[in-house]
Chains A and B, each alone.
Chain A
Amino acid sequence: MMVNLAKKMTLLRPNWLMLISVAVALLLSLPVMVILTNVATGQANVWQHLIDTVLADYISSSLILMLGVGLGSLLLGVPTAWLTSVCRFPGHKWLAWALLLPLAVPAYIIAYTYTGLLDFAGPVQSLIRETTGLSYGEYWFFEVRSITGAIVMLSLVLYPYVYLMSRAAFLEQSANTLEVSRSLGYSHTKSFFKLALPLARPAIVAGVTLALMETLADYGTVKYFGVTSFTTGIMRTFNGFGDAAAASQLASVLLLFVTCLILMERYSRRRISYHASGIRKASNRKIELNKKQGIIAFCVCFLPVFLGFIVPAIQLLYWAAFSAESIDASFIKLAWNSLYLAALAAIIAVVLALILAYASRLNKRKAVQASVTVAGLGYALPGTIIAIGIIIPFAWLDHQIIAWVKETFEVRLGLVLSGTLFALLFAYTVRFMAVSLGSIQAGLGKITPSLDAAGRSLGYKPLDVLRKIHIPLMKSSVLTALLIVFVDVLKELPATLILRPFNFNTLAVRAFELASDERLADAAPASLMIVLVGLAPVILLSRSIGSGPAH
C-alpha cells in the first residue's frame, strides 16, 4: 500500500508538536511572567514603602537562613557521604540508605514535632524540672522557635540533597586516584582534603544549591517559628493586606535570589561532568576502620538519621497513638482530598511531560528544545511565588467573566478559575513539571531511534511500535514520575494554602493549621500519613544508590 500523504505528514507533524510544546511552556511560565510584569508596572510608592519597612529585614533573615542551612547541610551531608561511600564500618550498608530517610519528613512537620518535644510543656523540659526540682525561668533552656531553630530543622531534612550528590561524586572517583595519592605519600585524611573533596566540590555545591532552593521555598517552618522571611512576608502582604502588587514585588526579589541559585546549580552541574571524566569504575575496595574509628563513624552517620527521622517519627507515632483525636469521617475526607488531588496532579504532570519529551525527541528545532527547558524551570520556584503568579491573572479573568456573564445573561456567577481545584492543579503542574520531565526523559533516552526503526523494518506500524516497544520500556519511568509528583504534591504547603478552594482542606494544610493552633498531637495523624507516603520515593531512591553511583 502506498502513502501519498507521507510527505505532507512529516511536514505537518513536527509543527503540531512544536505548537503544543511552545503552548505548554508559555502556560507554565505564566506565573513568573505575571510577577515580572508586576515589577515593571508596579507603583513606585509600593516599592519605596517596602524598602523603608520590611525589605532589609527579609533579605537579612533569608541570608542568615541560607548561610545556616548551607553550613548545616554541608556538615551533615558531606562527612556522612564520604564515610558511607569510602569506608567500611559497622552498619555502613544500611546507613547508606537510612541517611535518605529525613527526605520523607517535610520541614514544617519536623519543626512542630521538635517544638512539642522541647518547649516548656514538652517531655524534655518536664524531665529537667522533675529531676532538678527547678521551675520555669530558674534554668536555661534554648528557644526552639527561633531562627537558629529553623536553621537546625531545615538542615536536618535538607542535608540528604548534599548527601546524595556528594555520595555519587565520591563513588565515581576511581580507586586509582586515591591509590596514586597514597603512593605519593599522602595519608587517607590528606588525600580526602587534597583530592577527594576538591574533585567532589561541584557535586557538593549542586547539592547545597538544591537545599538552599528548598530553604527559600519553605513557608511552614519559618511561619511556625515566627521568623520573618520572604515567604512569610509575601503571605502576610497578600492575605493580611490584600495587596497583590506589594506581594508580587516581594516575590520578584525572592525570584532574584532563586535565579542566582539556579545559575549556580547549572554551573556546578556542568563542572560535574567535567570532573567526572576519566575512569568511571567505582571502587569496591573500602577503607577498613578500626574499632574506635568505626564507632565514631557510626555515630556521625547515625546522628542525622536519628534526629532527622527516628525522633520525629517516634514522637508522631506516640501522639497519633495516645493523644490525638480518634480518626473520624472528617479525617478520611481529608485524606481522600489529598490523595485524589495528588493523583490528579501527578497524572497531568506526567501526561504533559510525555508530550514534551516526545516533542523534543521528534523535533530538534530550537523552539521545542527551549520549551522543554522553560517548562522544567518551575522546580526552583517557591510555591508562594507560583501561587501569587497564578491568583493575580485568574482573579482578573474571573472578574471579566463574571461581569460579562452578568451583563449578557443577567446571572450571577461564582468564581470560575481562582479558588478552584483548577488553579491548584495548575500550580502543582508548574512546580513539579521538572520532576516528571526528568524521569520521563531519562526513560525515553534509553529508547534509541534505531529501536523504532528496527520495529518499523520488521513490519510494525508506528502505533504498533509505540504499543510493543515504547510502552513496555517506558512503564517504570512513568510510574516513578507519577509516584514522585504524587508525594511532592501531598507534602506541598504554601501554594495549597493560597489557592485552595474555600473549605477545602488537605492533609498538609490541616496538619499545619492544627499545629499553628498548638494542637500538636491532633496534627500527628495527618503528618504521619504524609511521612509514610513520603517514604515510598525515598525507598525507590535508596535502591538506586544502594549498590552503585546514583544518577
Chain B
Amino acid sequence: MTSLPPAHMLTDLNIKNVSVSYDGNTIIQGVDFRLLAGQIGCLLGPSGCGKSTLLRAIAGFEMISTGSIELDGKPLSKPELMVNPEQRNIGMVFQDVALFPHLTISENIEFGIQSWSKSERKERTRHLLELVGLSGFETRYPQSLSGGQQQRIALARAIAPKPKLLLMDEPFSGLDAKLREELVPDVRAILLAEKMSAILVSHDQMEAFAMADQIAVMSEGQIHQLATAYQIYHKPATRLVASFIGHGDLLPSKVCGPTCVISDLGEIKGKTEHGFKADQEIDLLIRPDDILHDDDSEFTGEIVSKWFRGSHFLYRVRLASGKVVYCFASSHHDHSIGQSIGLSVHLDHLVLFPRDA
C-alpha cells in the first residue's frame, strides 16, 4: 500500500440500463452511458432531471434498482450488490466544495492518501498545489480562501489519491462568470495532465461545451442524446434536445421531396435524404445563424426586436404566417423595429421532427 499506484490505467465506465428510485418514485429510468478512457463526459440537463442522482449512483451514494454500473469490466453497482463508496476508487468534487473546515489545505489534500508514506504525501501535495496554482497555501484554512481557490483545492483533494474516475457535481455553479471562464480550461488541462477520466454534472451548456468530449443530455430521468457538443447542437436527436441546447425555432414545414421541405421561407434543400414521406407535415429546426438578411430575397419578415452584438445584428422577425424566427445581419445593416427585411435560409443539414411528436 505504501508504493505509488501504477502509472495511469485506462478507465472505461460502462452504465447499462440503470434505474434509481426512492419510495416508488423513479428518478432515473433505464439509462445507458459509456465513457471511454481519458474522456471527459458531461451530464447536462435542467434541474430535477436526475443528473446529480446518476452521478451519486456512480459514486456509490445511491442504490440502483435495475441494470449495472461497471468500471473496467468490474461491477460496482447492481440491484443486489453495492460496492461501498470508499472502495470504488472514484473521486468526487462537490457542488458546495465540502472542504473540511477543521483541517488545513495540505491536511485536506492529504486526507485521502493517509496510507502513503509521508514523503510521498508531501510530494503529491506540493505537485497538486502547483498544478492548481496555489503553492504556498499549505497551512491556511479553507475559510480564508476565495470561492475559486476553494474549488481548486477541492479538485486537488479529489484527484490526490489518483482515482480511476473523477466526478464533479456542478463544480463551477457557485462561481461568478468571469472566474468560471478562467477555471474551466484550467480544470480541463489538469485532468488531461493527470490522464484522468471525468464526468461532470451541469445545467450550463457553455460549461459543458467547454469541458466535455461527450455530452449526455438528460431530462426526466432519461438520456435523450449522448454525443459530442457539435452533434447535439447541430444534429439534436429529439425536440427536447433541440430546444434545450442553443437558441432556435421550429418552423412548420411540409416535405416536398427526398431532400427538401417547403416552409414560409420557401423551398429548403438539404444535402442528404431526410427519410420522411412526401407531403408529411414536419417541423424544421432553424438556428439564429441559419437565416441571413438578404435584400434580394423574395421572402420577407417584420422586425420585432433587435440586439446589436458588435460584429453583427441579431433580429427577431415575424414571418407572413405569424411565426417568429431569429435572423443574422452584418453590423452595418441597421434596420429599425417594424421594418420589413428580406430573408434567406442557409442550411446544409435539415433537422426535422415529425409534427405529431
Contact = CB atoms under 8 A, between A and B. Distances in A.
A472 B111 CA distance: 14
Given A10-B63, A457-B86, A457-B158, A450 B112 contact: no
A120 B157 CA distance: 74
Given A3-B83, A450-B95, A459 B161 contact: yes
Give the top 4 A-B pairs by smallest Cβ distance, nearest first. Answer: A458-B112, A6-B82, A450-B98, A456-B85
Contact of A461 (B86, B92, B95, B101): B86
B112 A459 contact: yes
A4 B87 CA distance: 14
A503 B107 CA distance: 55
A456 B102 CA distance: 17
Interface in B203-230: none
A458 B101 CA distance: 16
Contacts of A468: 111
A473 interface: yes
B232 interface: no
B352 interface: no
Which of B61, B95, B157 counts the most chain A CB atoms within 10 A? B61
B80 interface: yes
B134 interface: no
21 contacts: A1-B83, A2-B83, A3-B84, A4-B80, A6-B82, A6-B84, A7-B80, A448-B96, A453-B92, A454-B98, A454-B157, A457-B86, A457-B158, A458-B86, A458-B112, A458-B161, A459-B86, A459-B87, A459-B112, A460-B86, A469-B100
B78 to A, nearest CB: 9
B189 interface: no
Contacts of A6: 63, 82, 84
Interface string B70-88: 0000000001111111111
Which of B100, B101, B112 counts the most chain A CB atoms within 10 A? B100
B41 interface: no
A469 B60 CA distance: 19
B44 interface: no
B86 A4 contact: no
A508 B170 CA distance: 57
Nearest to B167: A457
Contact of A472 (B56, B85, B87, B102): B102
B63 A453 contact: no
B71 to A, nearest CB: 13
Given A453-B61, A453-B92, A458-B111, A448 B98 contact: yes
Contacts of A461: 84, 86
A6 B61 CA distance: 11
A413 B266 CA distance: 104
Contacts of B86: 456-461
Contact of B98 (A451, A459, A460): A451
B141 interface: no
Contacts of A1: 83-84, 87
A10 B143 CA distance: 34
Contact of A457 (B79, B81, B90, B96): B90
Interface string B90-122: 111011101011100000000110000000000
Contact of A4 (B81, B111, B112, B157): B81
Nearest to B94: A450
Interface residues of A, number: 24
A15 to B, nearest CB: 14
Contacts of B92: 453-454, 457
Nearest to A454: B98
B59 interface: yes
Contacts of A459: 86-87, 112, 161
B23 to A, nearest CB: 10
A150 to B, nearest CB: 47
Contacts of A3: 81-84
Contacts of B85: 453, 456-457
A386 B239 CA distance: 65
Contacts of B81: 2-4
Contacts of A457: 59-60, 85-86, 88, 90-92, 158, 167
A458 B161 CA distance: 8
B322 to A, nearest CB: 44
A460 B85 CA distance: 9
Interface in B277-332: none
Nearest to B87: A1
Contacts of B161: 458-459
Contacts of B157: 454, 458
A451 B102 CA distance: 11
A456 B84 contact: yes
A3 B63 CA distance: 12
A446 B161 CA distance: 26
Which of A1, A2, A3, A10 counts the most chain B CB atoms within 10 A? A2
Contacts of A446: 101
Contacts of B56: 453
Contacts of B95: 450
Contacts of B83: 1-3
Contacts of A456: 60-61, 84-86
A458 B85 CA distance: 8
Contacts of A10: 63
Which of B59, B60, B80, B85 counts the most chain A CB atoms within 10 A? B85
Interface in A441-491: 446, 448, 450-451, 453-461, 468-469, 472-473
B84 A454 contact: no
Given A456-B61, A457-B158, A7 B102 contact: no
A220 B178 CA distance: 64
Interface string A112-155: 00000000000000000000000000000000000000000000
Contacts of B100: 451, 454, 469, 473
Nearest to A473: B102
Which of A457, A472, A473 counts the most chain B CB atoms within 10 A? A457
Nearest to B76: A2
A453 B102 contact: no
A454 B153 CA distance: 13
A92 to B, nearest CB: 29
A451 to B, nearest CB: 5
A486 B60 CA distance: 42
A4 B81 CA distance: 5
Given A450-B94, A450-B95, A453-B59, 6 more contacts: A448-B96, A457-B90, A457-B91, A458-B112, A459-B86, A461-B86
Contacts of B82: 2-4, 6-7
A473 to B, nearest CB: 6
B202 to A, nearest CB: 17
Contacts of A454: 92, 94, 98, 100, 157
A100 to B, nearest CB: 28
Given A6-B84, A458-B86, A473 B101 contact: yes
Interface in B43-76: 56, 59-61, 63
Nearest to A461: B86
A63 to B, nearest CB: 49
Nearest to A459: B86
Nearest to B101: A473
Contacts of A472: 102
Interface string A1-21: 111101100100000000000
A476 to B, nearest CB: 10
Contacts of B87: 1, 459
A10 B82 CA distance: 11
B296 to A, nearest CB: 58
Nearest to A10: B63
Nearest to B111: A458
A473 B143 CA distance: 14
A6 B91 CA distance: 21
Nearest to B82: A6
A458 B103 CA distance: 15
Contacts of B112: 458-459
A7 B65 CA distance: 10
A226 B72 CA distance: 82
